[in-house]
Amino acid sequence: MDKDLPVVNAIELAGVTKCYGDKTVVRNVNLTVHAGERLVMIGHNGAGKTTLMKLMLGLSRASSGRVRVLGGDPVSATAAQRSATGYVPENVAFHSAMKGGEVLAFYARLKGVSIAGYTDILARVGLEDAAERRVSTYSKGMRQRLGLAQAMLGKPRLLFLDEPTSGLDPSLRRQFYELIDTLSRSGTTSLISSHSLNEVEARADRIAILKKGVLVACGTVAGLLQQTGLPISVRLHTKPGIASELAGRLSFAGEVHKVNDHSVDLFCFESSKMEIIHRVSALGDMVEDMDITPPRLDEIYNHYMENVQ
C-alpha cells in the first residue's frame, strides 16, 4: 500500500446524479464504502451500475453531487491514487499477439509499478503455466483471470470488478472469491457489479440495490431481510403418520402446511423465529429434525424490484 495516501473511506458518494442530455441515468446516490469492505452492486440492466462505476473510476464526471475515491476526485486523481486502483471490465480485451507475461509488463509500466513478482500474481489466478502463451490462445475464462491479474498489479487498495466471474466455471468462481476474501483481509476494498445474486450472497459484506438509477437499498443480507419483512421458511420432519397432528399443534405459528405424512412447512418472520424454535423444542419426540431457510438474495432483490418505485 502507498504510505503517502491518507487512511480514508475507500469511496464516498454524496447526492451523485448523472445525466446524458435530458435523460437521468443515476439520481441522487449517497453511498460510503469502507476500507477493506466487499460491496456488491446489483440491479437490472440499465439500473446505473456501470455508470456509477465509471464515475468512481474517473472515466465520467457527475452532473451534480460529490464523488470521492481514496480521498480525492477520481477525475483529477494523482498518480498514487490511480496506481492504488484496479479495474476489471465485464468484457476483458487484450492484444491477441501479446503473451500473458507481456500483458502484465505492459500494464505495470502504465501504472508505474514494479513488474517484480508477476509470476506470483499469475499463479494466484491460475495462469502460471500460461505466461508464455499468446492471449489469442486463451479461453474467455483465462482472459478474465488475466484481467484480474493486471488489476492486482501494485497491490491496489481498491478493486472495481464488473461481472468479474463471467466465463469462469464453478471451481474458478470459487477460487476467484477466495482470492477477493484474501485481499479483503489485507485491507483491499472491492466493489463488484454482478447479476449472479446467489453467487455473491455469502461473499459480500453489504449489498447495494439499484433500480432505474436510484439506490433503493444498501445493507447486509440480514439487514435487508429485516427491512423487507419477507417470511422465513421452516420445515419440520416428524415420524410418519403424525404430520397432521403436528400441523394442528402449530396453528399458533400462522401459515402452516402439511407437505406429506412426515413433514410440515410453516412460515414465520424474523421477530418470531426464536419463539417458534422454543415452542417446537417443547414438542419433544414429535419433531425429529428442523430446517430453517431464510429468503435468498434473489427473493430480497425481487421484493425491491416489485415493491419500490
235 inside domain: yes
More confident residue, 119 or 75: 75
Instruction: State residue 262's pLDDT score.
Output: 86
Q: pLDDT tens-digit profile of 148-159?
A: 899 988 888 999
pLDDT of residue 2: 45
Please tell me the distance from the alpha carbon of residue 204 to that of residue 65, in angstroms, as a whole number: 26
Q: Considering only 1-10, 122-131, 297-306, which range has the smallest mean pLDDT?
A: 1-10
pLDDT at residue 1 tops 60? no
pLDDT value for 7: 52
**What CATH number does residue 268 fall under?**
3.30.70.920
Does the reported pTM lie above 0.75?
A: yes
Reply yes or no on whether the pLDDT at 241 is more than 90: no
Q: Tell whether 109 is covered by a domain.
A: no
Of the two residues 284 and 21, the one the predictor is more confident about is 21
Does the pLDDT of residue 77 top 60, yes or no?
Answer: yes
Give the pLDDT confidence score for residue 219 in this predicted structure: 95
Where does the pLDDT of residue 173 fall: very low under 50, low under 70, confident under 90, or very high at 90 and above? confident
Per-residue pLDDT, averaged over 296-305, amounts to 93
Confidence of residue 41 (pLDDT cuts 50, 70, 90): very high
Task: Give long-range contacts, CB 8 A cutoff, 24+ apart: 173-181.
Answer: 173/199, 175/126, 176/125, 176/145, 176/148, 177/203, 179/124, 179/125, 179/148, 180/38, 181/38
Q: What average pLDDT score do residues 271-295 get? A: 86
Q: How confident is the model at residue 79 (pLDDT cuts 50, 70, 90)?
A: confident
List of residues 6+ apart from 250 with CB closer than 8 A: 236, 256, 264, 266, 279, 280
Residue 222 forms part of a structural domain: no
- 246 domain residue, yes or no: yes
- For residue 271, tell me if it sits in a domain: yes
State the pLDDT confidence band at 65, using cuts at 50, 70 and 90: very high
User: Residue 64: pLDDT above 90?
Assistant: yes
The boundaries of the domain holding residue 250 are 231-294
Q: Provide mean pLDDT across the span 164-186.
A: 82
Report the pLDDT averaged over residues 157-184. 84
Position 257 pLDDT exceeds 90: no
Domain count, the chain: 1
Residue 284 lies in a domain: yes
Q: Average per-residue pLDDT in the chain?
A: 88
Q: Are strands 206-211 and 189-193 parallel, antiparallel or unpaired?
A: unpaired
Does residue 265 form part of some domain? yes
Query: Is residue 5 pLDDT above 60, yes or no?
Result: no
146 within a domain of the structure (yes/no): no
Nearest to 84 by CA among 150, 157, 147: 157
Q: In the prediction, which pLDDT does 251 show?
A: 74
